[in-house]
């Protein structure tokens, strides 16, 4: 009976903001995803470019000459993004820093899609335990929101090219922030990603050896499958379905699929922590299971915590407390303890 009530609560929570999500035009927009490639007119041509990006090991590397022009004031960090978009606000990255008084460890948090508040309680909890917490704003969120938008429609949408550009921008922004943290003397760098933020955090961990721990909440591998099957992305699927099938979407968004980076995530100097919700209707459990199995097949040994709740009810007691304690144990483990 309790879990039936929990499922209904998750469904009611899912309806919040649903009216703002409209069916929009399907657009390739290859020039945004792959600069210089503006004359792409077919999905097959787009997928060829996506295949090339996936095979390019440097595609998620920051551009050469990217500087560290950071402004820090009163607990906030501000710096320019290395991808320039047509939304001026989105071209400046903001991050909230909660200091711990120690430079031993820093945790960078990547929030969920359409987040409307930062994780103040998480930041306070870990900063009091010696971990400096940095909460970065992903593209088109918080201070970077597009004027007049009711949700972060430019971060994830039926515009294939803009979605790739946005995720790549989030990865570049995160890597630039991590480089700054290392220059400030922070030792161990960990990343925490929640839902859509877990894709960003995971891709960063796969490509940046400065990251030694990655915690992925409510995650899976294929972003295409998540959008096609998830409760929160029905409007995007309805926009895509008349024009493109799931197989083509998987190929078009192959650079965003963490399953394709399983070997990188399985590197010996990276520890993985995954928190999943067994009753999730946004990131379906079968997608998460496929991803974690792919990690194991690649040789990774992820620390997996499965809770009997939904996507949104993970934020309710007792589930958020269980997830928090699992994360605390993971971040507190020493190298010696993890290797034995």
The per-residue DSSP string of 6-20 comes to HHHHHHHHHHTTGGG
Separation CA 186–CA 145 (nearest Å): 29
Pick from 85, 98, 93, 138: nearest CA to 116? 138
Q: What is the pLDDT of residue 339?
A: 42
Q: How do the domains of the chain map onto residue ranges?
A: 2-58+75-339
Q: Which residues contact 14 (CB under 8 A, 6 or more apart)?
A: 231, 232, 281, 282, 311, 312
pLDDT for the residue 17: 63
pLDDT at 335: 54
pLDDT tens-digit map of 146-183? 999 999 999 999 999 999 999 999 999 999 999 999 99
pTM value is 0.96
Residue 306's beta-bridge partner residues?
A: 276
CA 113, distance to chain mean position in Å, is 8
Could you tell me the CA-to-CA distances from 1 to 5, 6, 7, 9 in Å, in that order?
6, 9, 10, 12
| pLDDT score for 16 | 73
Residue 76 main-chain phi, psi, to 5 deg? -120, 150
Q: Are strands 105-110 and 131-136 parallel, antiparallel or unpaired?
A: parallel
* Contact status, residue 98 vs residue 128, Cβ threshold 8 Å: no
The CATH code for residues 2-58+75-339 is 3.40.50.1820
DSSP element (H, E) containing 191 = strand 188-194
Strands 71-73 and 76-80: antiparallel
Intra-chain end-to-end CA distance of the chain, in Å: 42
Give the three-state DSSP class for 27.
strand
Mean pLDDT (the chain, rounded): 94
* 3-class state of residue 274 by DSSP: strand
Bridge-based pairing of strands 303-307 and 76-80 is unpaired
- Mean pLDDT per 10-residue interval, the chain, length 340 residues: 77 76 91 88 96 96 82 96 97 97 96 93 95 98 95 96 98 97 96 98 98 98 98 95 97 98 98 98 98 98 97 94 96 60
CB within 8 Å of 300: residues ≥ 6 apart: 262, 265, 266, 272
Q: Please name which of 11, 7, 180 lies closest in space to residue 108, comparing C-alpha atoms.
A: 180
Angstrom distances, CA of residue 182 to CA of 90, 104, 232, 272: 24, 11, 36, 20
**291 Cβ neighbours under 8 A, 6+ residues apart:** 219, 220, 221, 222, 258, 259
């Amino acid at each position: 009976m309790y879990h039936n009530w929990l499922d209904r609560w998750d469904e009611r929570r899912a309806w919040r903001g649903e009216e703002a999500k409209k069916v929009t035009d399907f657009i390739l927009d290859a020039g945004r995803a792959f600069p210089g490639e503006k004359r792409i007119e077919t999905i097959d041509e787009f997928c060829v470019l996506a295949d090339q990006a996936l095979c390019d090991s440097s595609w998620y590397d920051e551009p050469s000459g990217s500087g560290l022009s950071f402004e820090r004031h009163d607990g906030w960090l501000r710096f320019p993004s290395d991808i320039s978009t047509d939304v001026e606000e989105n071209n400046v990255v903001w991050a909230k820093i909660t200091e711990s008084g120690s430079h031993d460890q820093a945790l960078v948090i990547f929030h969920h899609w359409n987040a409307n508040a930062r994780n103040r309680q998480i930041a306070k909890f870990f900063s009091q335990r010696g971990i400096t917490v940095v909460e970065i704003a992903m593209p088109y969120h918080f201070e970077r929101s597009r004027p007049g938008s009711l949700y972060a429609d430019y971060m994830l949408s039926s515009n294939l090219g803009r979605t790739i550009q946005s995720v790549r921008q989030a990865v570049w922004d995160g890597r630039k922030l991590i480089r700054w943290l290392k220059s400030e003397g922070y030792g161990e760098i960990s990343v925490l990603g929640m839902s859509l933020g877990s894709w960003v955090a995971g891709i960063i961990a796969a490509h940046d050896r400065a990251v030694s721990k990655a915690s992925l909440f409510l995650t899976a591998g294929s972003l295409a499958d998540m959008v096609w099957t998830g409760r929160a992305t029905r409007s995007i699927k309805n926009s895509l379905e008349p024009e493109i099938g799931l197989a083509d979407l998987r190929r078009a968004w192959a650079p965003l699929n963490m399953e394709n980076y399983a070997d990188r995530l399985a590197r010996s100097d990276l520890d993985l922590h995954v928190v999943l919700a067994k009753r999730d209707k946004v990131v379906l459990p079968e997608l998460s299971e496929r991803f974690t199995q792919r990690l194991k097949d690649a040789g990774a040994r992820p620390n997996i915590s499965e809770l009997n709740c939904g996507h949104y009810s993970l934020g309710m007691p007792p589930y958020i407390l269980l997830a928090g304690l699992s994360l605390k144990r993971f971040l507190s483990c020493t190298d010696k303890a993890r290797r034995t």
